[in-house]
């Protein structure tokens, strides 16, 4: 079982068996199949009860969001320098692993004092926590992949991100609000992205229900200052006249990669059918919206410091890397074996499977 080729073949075989019906159902008498249908009807009723459960969870989220909001508002005030925390509020007891010896602490305090005095001579103290949300975005791979260099000067003006849940009795949804201070790039003080969700089983496929799912999302219109729209770029192309052979230069405006494309997602047609590219964009969009709502907004300071990222990394083990190492060692052993014949032991090429 140490041969990687055998393991790969076995894994492929297991993948093929995973989730495949045993054929037992087809062999059952009609009277038993009839009873199985009764069980399936019970399962549908379970799905509807589960949907009600998630609706109540949404109501709880809405209730507790109101309790969290004063804390998030104070966080925002500290970040944008509207409030200066007291000495007591700034006290933070480090973990035992982070605690230093008294002498080391004194040394660091003295060094920090000298650095502060030097900074005071050079410039005034910074206000609030500069580039707080930009740093959060840059620390999270899912968000940093969206950022372009021309986005960063704009996101320095981002002061807060809030989550607003739909009111009682309204269809389930949530809205992300991005609050900006006045800037030279656009006149909006707030950009929004709303995600509409559904928490009920699909009548055509009730067994696929696995909790609320995002059905669609809508962005907002960004009122760009002239010449500041980073979602568009101007390119020049040379065109040659077919008859005369003359060449002219044509200027065209084309879409440009930018985080701010997040606010103009693809529209979902009434029939719900999308091309593959639009489906991929929307799938990524839903993941990002959910991540901002569930992780970024509630734990922003920990993504700013990087502590939340370390916690996220702890969720993954390194089994894959160990497997790679073992495979490398096995290949090395085979190469050192005088009786090893690569042509004889080579496995046939595996077929690509469509996901």
Could you tell me if residue 141 is inside a domain?
A: yes
pLDDT in tens, 40-88: 999 999 988 988 888 888 889 999 999 999 999 999 999 999 999 999 9
pLDDT score for 151: 97
| 264 lies in some domain | yes
Indicate if the pLDDT at residue 267 is higher than 70. Answer: yes
For residue 96, what pLDDT is reported? 55
Query: Which pLDDT score is estimated for 349?
Result: 39
Give the number of other Cβ atoms within 10 Å of residue 125's Cβ. 8
CA separation for the pair 75, 301 (Å, rounded): 9
Structure tokens at 307: 């502590």
> Do the domain assignments include residue 31?
yes
Range with the poorest average pLDDT among 24-33, 59-68, 135-144, 285-294: 24-33
**What secondary structure letter does DSSP report for 210?**
-
Q: Each residue of 106-118: pLDDT tens digit?
A: 676 677 777 766 6
- Does residue 13 lie in a domain region? no
- C-alpha angle 228-234-235 in degrees, rounded to nearest 5: 160
> Strand, helix or coil at 30?
helix
Q: Which residues is 249 bridged to in the sheet?
A: 238
- Please state the separation of Cα 209 from the chain's center in Å: 22
Residue 185 falls within a domain, yes or no?
Answer: yes
**Residue 255 placed within a domain:** yes
Cβ 180 vs Cβ 189: under 8 Å:
yes
Per-residue pLDDT at 6: 57
Per-residue model confidence (pLDDT) at position 161: 97
What are the distances in angstroms from CA 243 to CA 246, 259, 335? 8, 43, 64
The model carries a pTM of 0.71
pLDDT for residue 241: 74
Tell me what pLDDT residue 271 has.
67
- Alpha-carbon span 262 to 281, nearest angstrom: 10
**How confident is residue 95, by pLDDT bands cut at 50, 70 and 90?**
low
pLDDT surpassing 80 at residue 337 = no
The larger pLDDT score, comparing residue 144 to residue 13, is at: 144
Q: Please report the DSSP string for 285-328 in residue order.
A: HHHHHHHIIIIITTTHHHHHHTHHHHHHHHTS--HHHHHHHHHH
pLDDT for the residue numbered 223: 97
Is the residue at 199 inside a domain? yes
Q: What is the DSSP string of 68-132?
A: HHHHHHHHHHHHTTS----HHHH--PPPTTT---HHHHHHHHHHHHHHHHHHHHHSPPPPS-TTH
Structure tokens at 30: 């009609």
Query: Does the residue 340 lie in any domain?
Result: no
What pLDDT was estimated at residue 314?
A: 55
**pLDDT surpassing 60 at residue 331:** no
Lowest-confidence range among 68-82, 158-172, 228-242?
A: 228-242
Mean pLDDT (the chain, rounded) = 80
Number of domains in the chain: 1
Range of the domain at 134: 23-85+127-268+278-305
Which range, of 72-81, 113-122, 153-162, 183-192, averages the lowest pLDDT?
Answer: 113-122
Residue 105 has pLDDT above 90, yes or no: no
| CATH code for the domain in which residue 60 is found | 3.30.1120.90
The 10s digit of each residue's pLDDT in 268-302 is: 776 667 778 777 888 888 899 999 999 999 999 99
Q: Which pLDDT does position 170 carry in this prediction? A: 85
Question: pLDDT band for position 172 (50/70/90)?
Answer: confident
Looking at mean pLDDT, say which of 72-81, 203-212, 301-310, 327-336 comes out highest. Answer: 72-81
């Amino acid at each position: 079982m140490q041969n990687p080729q055998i393991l790969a073949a076995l894994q492929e075989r297991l993948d093929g068996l995973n989730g495949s019906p045993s054929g037992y159902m087809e062999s059952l008498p009609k009277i038993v199949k009839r009873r199985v249908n009764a069980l399936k009807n019970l399962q549908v009723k379970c799905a509807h009860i589960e949907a009600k459960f998630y609706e109540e969870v949404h109501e709880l989220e809405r209730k507790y969001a109101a309790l969290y909001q004063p804390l998030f508002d104070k966080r925002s005030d500290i970040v944008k320098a509207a409030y200066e925390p007291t000495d007591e509020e700034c006290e933070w007891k480090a973990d035992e692993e982070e605690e230093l010896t008294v002498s080391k602490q004194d040394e660091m305090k003295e060094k920090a004092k000298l650095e502060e005095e030097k900074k005071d001579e050079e410039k005034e103290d910074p206000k609030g926590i500069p580039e707080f949300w930009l740093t959060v975005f840059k620390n999270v791979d899912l968000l940093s992949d969206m950022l372009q260099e021309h986005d960063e000067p704009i996101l320095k003006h981002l002061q807060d991100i809030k989550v607003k849940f739909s009111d009682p009795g309204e269809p389930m949804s949530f809205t992300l609000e991005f609050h900006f201070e006045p800037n030279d790039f656009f006149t909006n003080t707030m950009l929004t992205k709303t995600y509409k969700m559904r928490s009920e089983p699909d009548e055509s496929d009730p067994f696929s229900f696995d909790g609320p799912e995002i059905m669609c999302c809508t962005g907002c219109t960004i009122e760009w200052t002239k010449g500041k729209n980073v979602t568009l770029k101007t390119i020049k192309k040379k065109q040659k006249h077919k008859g005369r052979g003359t060449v002219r230069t044509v200027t065209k405006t084309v879409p440009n990669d930018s985080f701010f494309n997040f606010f103009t997602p693809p529209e979902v047609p009434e029939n719900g059918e999308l091309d593959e590219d639009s489906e991929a964009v929307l799938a990524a969009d839903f993941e990002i919206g959910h991540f901002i709502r569930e992780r970024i907004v509630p734990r922003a300071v920990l993504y700013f410091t990087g502590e939340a990222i370390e916690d996220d990394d702890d969720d993954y083990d390194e089994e894959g890397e160990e497997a790679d190492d073992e495979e490398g060692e096995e290949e090395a052993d085979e190469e050192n074996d005088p009786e090893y014949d690569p042509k004889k032991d080579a496995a046939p090429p595996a077929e690509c499977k469509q996901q």
